[in-house]
Chain A
């Protein structure tokens, strides 16, 4: 198996490693870097449990080769907010009971980060379509929608305060 050297930034830390051509990014993150917050729920890019931010965009890491991420800047759920603090989305999922078993939660939150970046004030319908690449089997989505709505409001306030 051909090996390739890759270098990327993950949660602010530079990482260099030698990896197999076929190694999926989600396995690199989980197995090689021992960051297990990014989950695997299917093999077909349907469930979105493996969603991370790659150069600022939400990406399903189960269908992304590690070699392709060479030079990329990656954020996983572990790096979304400084330790001991919450990103507004993490706070909102807690406040609005937007999680039950927690398995889809990291992917759902990472996807929502991208959603709110591109659409800071989404309607309910836009949120539902915006997270439709991520499956949740527990919550029925009502409270995930509310969580994203709360975070949008909080982030708008924060933005206003910094202007």
Chain B
């Protein structure tokens, strides 16, 4: 286990210190985007399409403009005058800011109403008259590829059908050959439906352009303020917005989970509006706009897993159809259109794998956000973990034993996966053993046998996942060409207190505490003496932001290395103060001392003071350091989750009895915060497993676009989570840390699905897609009975 190097007062790594950011939130003094109020504040409300696919014949603004307080109605035609009606997506597709002739999904932005008051803006939006000519929407992604399917994107040069791209990785021929000759092959089409991050704070912005200074300031719900600034400069540079005149401020963020990475059309409209009007324009998304206009997942995966008759896995093949809606606005690194989906070979040691994916256009909202998951890792893990359980059922082997027999062994790391990742470290066997011990696996197996004998349905589900996070090395990872490094800048003041700034942005992860702890660990300055600042592009160093569990792997590493640069400088100052040569100075946390004479020492605070007051000849004054960290590899957090459920045969009701999550995220900065992150991620894992899924009718209408029918789990649906850890440090990260917050979202759904399917297996049910609701279970049971 991790041994703390610092005292609780210093609060370095491994201490569960209480969060520094709590006070303002507890007293109602958080500052979220909707809390900003600027002089002359205007409000914007979007008019949205009731149809999934329609021609816009006309937009009549007159009645809206006649309302007292309505200042403007902005349409696609208005934006077209400035060539701002389309914008690029992160994956080189194009997305409408506002349409000029066609709407492509229900709730798409049609035009914007600007008014002096929020209520008046809504009145104005209701008064806008839009004449639509509805067309037959393509809702089913499989039908999008039919020969007679209408071409959804004729605006794109060279686009002849509704396929966006084909992607593949691995050796198709060899994998097919191994599968063809295997003793056992299990197959399944697994669907992960559209879901939404549903952060409790929706998206929004408050954009303010000063015509005198020509400066644009945007308060924005964004996880990546610097990247957004660059995007705005690239999109609107031609109208005179220059990057040094753009300030993006990401204030307190009420949950992000990937949903606050994209640039939403209304942001661009608000910026255009303030640019034209010269007064601040605020847009705050309502909940239905939020739930309907974005998505995660939506992968249909045809999986095949081949093994010997005694269960040695030999090959995995997965062919996926991805529904991207009308444009590919996936928030992925440029070279990874399917994100890190190729982690789908999992935690197991075998040679052959092949993954391919076809992405298609449909008349649905774009999105493809990496919802609390490092770019499609959730989909990948669900595929392999369901298939491993299916194999276990097929050959009648305990799923835990099957996993033990196939795990990559501790001594095999770094492990080159069949689809090209270099796993950094792990001890999968120890992690699963710990989970089994904690939950009492053997006892549950006995109980299950007894219950089955009595005709009762009880299931035990396991998931042993490997994640890939912390994007990423600049040779492979970029967003719009910008390498995915991250940054830290430390200023130690003369009195030994510090301010540190980062290119990332916390949305609840507790950066103000954990970054201070990293610096406390490295410098020995108490974490309470270190202020952390993020989210303002005018002050923070450039970084790519917080998502994909990348803050600790990238910016956390940058903090450690910047602190070490300071320590090196401090050594020169200490030598000067102690009147010895630099070679004779040694460091222990918080102080320098003379080798062999530990009583002769100077604290880090003494040294910081000297850096401003008693500078050694020839040394640059001041005590500041900056580092931009380009990670050599990604990190590979992993874990073993076990879930126990009971299912009522008569009703399909599912009762989650226990859930144990053992995570291995390497060295831990703050155990309290890590545990909290795991709890939260687990609830975001049970959500898609049992409750959430965006549903469409045949015309492309969203059927559950409010929180009344999109079931975000409450404290009642959320079980009492039990957590624990194994620690296998990352060998290449300066702190041995890996990132954690997404593991539970990735690992929980397959564990829960495996448990429920295991429960109903005696009835002959072999697979259920998530969300596994009581109704779905009941229907499957009835179908089995009908067969019998």
Chain A interface residues toward B at CB < 8 A: 20, 22-23, 27, 30-31, 34-44, 46-47, 49, 76-78, 81, 86, 90, 93-95, 97, 99-106, 109, 124, 127-129, 131-145
Cross-chain contact A140 with B679 (CB below 8 angstroms): yes
Candidate in A37, A47, A101, A129 with the most chain B CB atoms within 10 angstroms: A101
Distance from A149 Cβ to chain B, minimum over Cβ atoms (Å): 12
**Closest CB pairs A-B (n = 6):** A37-B28, A102-B25, A103-B254, A101-B508, A140-B679, A100-B508
Cross-chain contact A41 with B714 (CB below 8 angstroms): no
Q: How far is the CA of A94 from the CA of B721 in the complex (A)?
A: 20
Closest chain B residue to A35 by CB distance?
Answer: B28
Distance from B684 Cβ to chain A, minimum over Cβ atoms (Å): 7
Q: Given A102-B30, A135-B714, 7 more contacts at CB 8 Å?
A: A35-B28, A38-B28, A93-B26, A102-B254, A102-B508, A106-B25, A135-B707
Q: How far is the CA of A34 from the CA of B255 in the complex (A)?
A: 23
B672 CB within 8 Å of chain A: yes
Cross-chain contact B30 with A103 (CB below 8 angstroms): yes
Distance from A35 Cβ to chain B, minimum over Cβ atoms (Å): 7
Cross-chain contact A127 with B715 (CB below 8 angstroms): yes
Cross-chain contact B683 with A43 (CB below 8 angstroms): no
Interface string of B661-697 (1 = CB under 8 A from A): 0000000000011011111111110000000000000
Q: How large is the interface on B (under 10, 10 to 19, 20 to 34, 35 or more residues)?
A: 35 or more
Q: Which of B27, B680, B708 contacts A44 (CB 8 A)?
A: B708
A sample of 20 inter-chain contacts (CB < 8 A) reads A31-B118, A34-B37, A36-B31, A37-B28, A43-B706, A44-B707, A44-B708, A47-B707, A77-B26, A94-B19, A94-B22, A100-B677, A103-B254, A135-B200, A135-B712, A137-B197, A137-B257, A139-B680, A140-B678, A140-B680
Distance from A47 Cβ to chain B, minimum over Cβ atoms (Å): 6
Q: How far is the CA of A6 from the CA of B199 in the complex (A)?
A: 34
Cross-chain contact A100 with B676 (CB below 8 angstroms): yes
Distance from A104 Cβ to chain B, minimum over Cβ atoms (Å): 5
Q: Which residues of A contact B673 (CB under 8 A)?
A: 97
Closest chain B residue to A85 by CB distance?
Answer: B27
Q: Which residues of B contact A95 (CB under 8 A)?
A: 18
Distance from A112 Cβ to chain B, minimum over Cβ atoms (Å): 11
Distance from B685 Cβ to chain A, minimum over Cβ atoms (Å): 9
Cross-chain contact B118 with A39 (CB below 8 angstroms): no
In the complex where A101-B254, A101-B255 touch, is A37 in contact with B708 (Cβ < 8 A)?
no
Q: Which residues of A contact B679 (CB under 8 A)?
A: 139-143
Q: How far is the CA of A139 from the CA of B714 in the complex (A)?
A: 11
Q: How far is the CA of A126 from the CA of B284 in the complex (A)?
A: 35
Q: Which residues of B contact A40 (CB under 8 A)?
A: 34, 284
B533 CB within 8 Å of chain A: no
Q: Which residues of A contact B715 (CB under 8 A)?
A: 127-129, 131-132, 136, 141, 144-145
Cross-chain contact B200 with A49 (CB below 8 angstroms): yes
Q: Which residues of A contact B284 (CB under 8 A)?
A: 40
Cross-chain contact A100 with B714 (CB below 8 angstroms): no
B507 CB within 8 Å of chain A: yes
Distance from A99 Cβ to chain B, minimum over Cβ atoms (Å): 6
Q: Which residues of A contact B714 (CB under 8 A)?
A: 128, 131-135, 141
Interface string of B702-715 (1 = CB under 8 A from A): 00001110001011
Q: How far is the CA of A4 from the CA of B25 in the complex (A)?
A: 33
Q: How far is the CA of A42 from the CA of B198 in the complex (A)?
A: 10
Cross-chain contact A103 with B201 (CB below 8 angstroms): yes
Interface residues of B in 238-278 (CB under 8 A from A): 252-255, 257
Q: How far is the CA of A56 from the CA of B426 in the complex (A)?
A: 53
B329 CB within 8 Å of chain A: no
Chain B interface residues toward A at CB < 8 A: 18-19, 21-32, 34-35, 37, 118-119, 197-202, 252-255, 257, 284, 286-288, 507-510, 672-673, 675-684, 706-708, 712, 714-716, 718, 720-721
In the complex where A31-B118, A39-B201, A127-B715 touch, is A138 in contact with B680 (Cβ < 8 A)?
yes
Closest chain A residue to B197 by CB distance?
Answer: A137
Q: Which residues of B contact A144 (CB under 8 A)?
A: 715
Closest chain B residue to A83 by CB distance?
Answer: B27
Cross-chain contact B22 with A99 (CB below 8 angstroms): yes
Q: Which residues of A contact B23 (CB under 8 A)?
A: 94
In the complex where A102-B508, A137-B684, A140-B721 touch, is A44 in contact with B25 (Cβ < 8 A)?
no
Q: Is the interface of A mostly helix, strand, loop or mixed?
A: loop
Q: Which residues of A contact B37 (CB under 8 A)?
A: 31, 34
Closest chain B residue to A101 by CB distance?
Answer: B508
Cross-chain contact A41 with B26 (CB below 8 angstroms): no
Distance from B233 Cβ to chain A, minimum over Cβ atoms (Å): 28
Q: Which of B25, B683, B706 contacts A105 (CB 8 A)?
A: B25
Q: How far is the CA of A34 from the CA of B682 in the complex (A)?
A: 36
Cross-chain contact B681 with A140 (CB below 8 angstroms): yes
Cross-chain contact A142 with B27 (CB below 8 angstroms): no
Q: Which residues of B contact A47 (CB under 8 A)?
A: 200, 287, 707, 712
Q: Which residues of A contact B27 (CB under 8 A)?
A: 37, 77-78, 81, 90
Q: How far is the CA of A22 from the CA of B419 in the complex (A)?
A: 59
Q: Which of B28, B198, B721 contacts A137 (CB 8 A)?
A: B198
Distance from B288 Cβ to chain A, minimum over Cβ atoms (Å): 7
Cross-chain contact B32 with A76 (CB below 8 angstroms): no
Q: Which residues of B contact A127 (CB under 8 A)?
A: 715
Q: Which residues of B contact A93 (CB under 8 A)?
A: 22, 26
Distance from A26 Cβ to chain B, minimum over Cβ atoms (Å): 11
Q: Which residues of A contact B718 (CB under 8 A)?
A: 128, 140-142
Distance from B526 Cβ to chain A, minimum over Cβ atoms (Å): 18
Distance from A137 Cβ to chain B, minimum over Cβ atoms (Å): 5
Q: Which residues of A contact B26 (CB under 8 A)?
A: 77, 86, 90, 93-94, 99, 102, 105, 109
Q: Which residues of A contact B29 (CB under 8 A)?
A: 37, 78
Q: How far is the CA of A43 from the CA of B708 in the complex (A)?
A: 10
In the complex where A94-B18, A141-B715 touch, is A104 in contact with B676 (Cβ < 8 A)?
no
Q: How far is the CA of A78 from the CA of B24 in the complex (A)?
A: 10
Q: Which residues of A contact B708 (CB under 8 A)?
A: 44, 46
Q: Which residues of A contact B288 (CB under 8 A)?
A: 43
Cross-chain contact A42 with B287 (CB below 8 angstroms): yes
Q: How far is the CA of A100 from the CA of B253 in the complex (A)?
A: 10
Distance from A128 Cβ to chain B, minimum over Cβ atoms (Å): 4
Q: How far is the CA of A22 from the CA of B684 in the complex (A)?
A: 36
Cross-chain contact B507 with A101 (CB below 8 angstroms): yes
Distance from A77 Cβ to chain B, minimum over Cβ atoms (Å): 4
Cross-chain contact B201 with A36 (CB below 8 angstroms): no
Distance from B36 Cβ to chain A, minimum over Cβ atoms (Å): 9
Q: How far is the CA of A100 from the CA of B714 in the complex (A)?
A: 16
Candidate in A20, A35, A42 with the most chain B CB atoms within 10 angstroms: A42
Q: How far is the CA of A87 from the CA of B706 in the complex (A)?
A: 33
Closest chain A residue to B744 by CB distance?
Answer: A140
Cross-chain contact A36 with B680 (CB below 8 angstroms): no
In the complex where A46-B707, A47-B200, A102-B252 touch, is A137 in contact with B32 (Cβ < 8 A)?
no
Distance from B20 Cβ to chain A, minimum over Cβ atoms (Å): 10
Cross-chain contact B255 with A137 (CB below 8 angstroms): yes
Q: How far is the CA of A95 from the CA of B714 in the complex (A)?
A: 22
Distance from A87 Cβ to chain B, minimum over Cβ atoms (Å): 9
Distance from B156 Cβ to chain A, minimum over Cβ atoms (Å): 36
